[in-house]
Structure 1
Amino acid sequence: MKKIFIASAFALLILASCNKDKEILNTLNDYNIGQQSKGYHFGDKLQIPQDVLDYAEAITISYGDKESSNLTIDPNFFSLGENDVTFNIKTKGGEVLTQDATINVFAKANARKVPYEVVNQYPHDADNFTEGFEIHGDTVYESVGLDGKSKIVKYTLGSRTPLLEVKQPDTIFSEGLTVFGDKIYQLTYKAKKGFIYDSNIKLIKEFDYPEEIVEGWGMTNDGKNLIVSDGSKYIYFLNPENPSQIVRKIAVASNKEGYDQVNELEYHDGSIYANVWQKPIVLQINPANGEVIGIIDFTNIAKQNTTGNDDVLNGIAFKGENMVITGKNWSRIYEVAIK
């Protein structure tokens, strides 16, 4: 009888311990949900629930291949936007509990709403599924996508007639491009390689993407590095002499929102401008840290040109100080003065 009582007491103790473990994990899960909207800034202390702190002997956080016991939002550990982490809780009883969580990190400075005025319109070939878009003087370089239809087109702004057109193999889905010095660099969607051409769009060589970049999306340059997006929250800076090498990367977020699916890019006057796939906005981004410092809302223009899921805003260039935008299969190009 005594043995049965001891066994029953032990079973109750285990059950109570399991329930406490579950309660702690639920507390962290609730915390995770609550932080989705609130978010943190770099330098903030993580607000761990007191129940968890009382129950834990030690807490560490795993993020990617890194682990830290520092419960402060450190820019050397976290990045802007969503950070999918795992809390590792060593209980005072010696057990280790794990709980997945999402930590949102936002920019400190408010992103300003940037007003604009349409000052000119030009024709655009509505057959062009625009992926890359760049203007030098009055000369447009456009990378056109889709399997079997990919090409690079060079034409004069205001004309639909190509000055030069180079079709690409049917296996290639063209993406972003940029004119860097006397060369044209171009990305591909899923082929994991890019192309380098001369000014007459004659192929010089191919290059492989860095392993970290899964897909090619947008491309520009700052005169020193190639700047590339891959549909994630990251923007990568590549060595133009060896585009397979990542120099550095930044994640993109405003003071209220983290952005992924960062797409077409343009560098102008110290800022990176980027559109977000399926959104009629252009972000003005600080290239030093990824913070969104301005948002240009082109909803009114997009409504005039978008009828489905694919014919969306996807072209950013500059003509002097004015921004020039278009989209996939749009029939118009718009020149806008940024106020």
Structure 2
Amino acid sequence: MKANFMQLKIGIIGLGRIGKIHYSHIRHQIPEAEVVMVSDVDKNGLPRDVKHGNAEELIAHPDIDAVVICSPTDTHSAYVEECARRGKHVFCEKPLDLSLARIRETLKVVRQHNIQLMLGFNRRFDANFVKLKTLVDTGKIGDVQLVKITSRDPAPPSVAYLKSSGGLFLDMTIHDFDMARYVMGKEVKEVYAAASVLTGGAVAEAGDIDTAVVTLKFEDDSMAVIDNSRKAVYGYDQRLEVFGSKGMAHVENNKPDSHVYYHEEGVASALPLHFFMDRYTTSYLTEMKAFVRSVQEKQPVPVGGSDGLKAALIAVAAQQSVEKNAPVALAGGE
């Protein structure tokens, strides 16, 4: 980054788990940016060394150039639109909204006011997945025929979270839908999903699903297979495989250490990391650096609103496929 760039002045709306991660990264590891103000409905525990205010005050603040939105999903579209009208660039956690119509309305406002909008698909910035993407882009895998993604959480979130999340596909699998598009470099034309409630508990109470297998068919008839679970007792299970005409590449789980213990009763090693923020901490930093750089250099963001809409389209089609017990052709268009 050029040394003569002024610091990007940032406001953060929502200081929950992800908001705190972004706040810490910007304050301590991204010297090209500065947190000017933060906002959260819970006033307890807010950092004392930065100005506080409500979301409307933050968006209207004359010194703020860009806003990082980490508030609940049902607030995202309204905040993004208000930022756009005031000329503030936006980094927004996914999804932009649970309604496809609302997402399209918001993207129209963003285009009208010509701001930068980046969606928080942080897995694109994980070094392991970037390496697989590079192998695909440089032709080392050949013609990619099949992508396999495993994404399983160690435990379901709370009932309250589940009830407002939009369901497994829009809340959790949406990351995998985006990764499939990202790695393949192609668009999805058909979705076929099967899902069940197998863990009970909070998921059943919330009326959601906890286990799913989704097959995506791309425009050239290549495919991706995604399996999800809300409850993997051994940790945060994140694996990806790319198979093509010239070979195969895969990424295994990250672990706290790489030891393998061999003994007379078998072989043992460390379990996968147990929390998504442990697994993807570096990717959150890398994505925020990319956002800051894009705004300062006036370059397109690496993950834009169109990517968010396309992932949401796949998620909605997956839900429809479960309900119909049949493949669903993807409805396109922005």
User: What TM-score do the two structures reach when normalised by structure 2?
Assistant: 0.22
Larger relative helix fraction: 2
Larger Rg: 1
Larger relative strand fraction: 1
Q: Flag the structure with more relative contact order, 1 or 2, with Cα contacts below 8 A and sequence separation at least 6.
A: 2
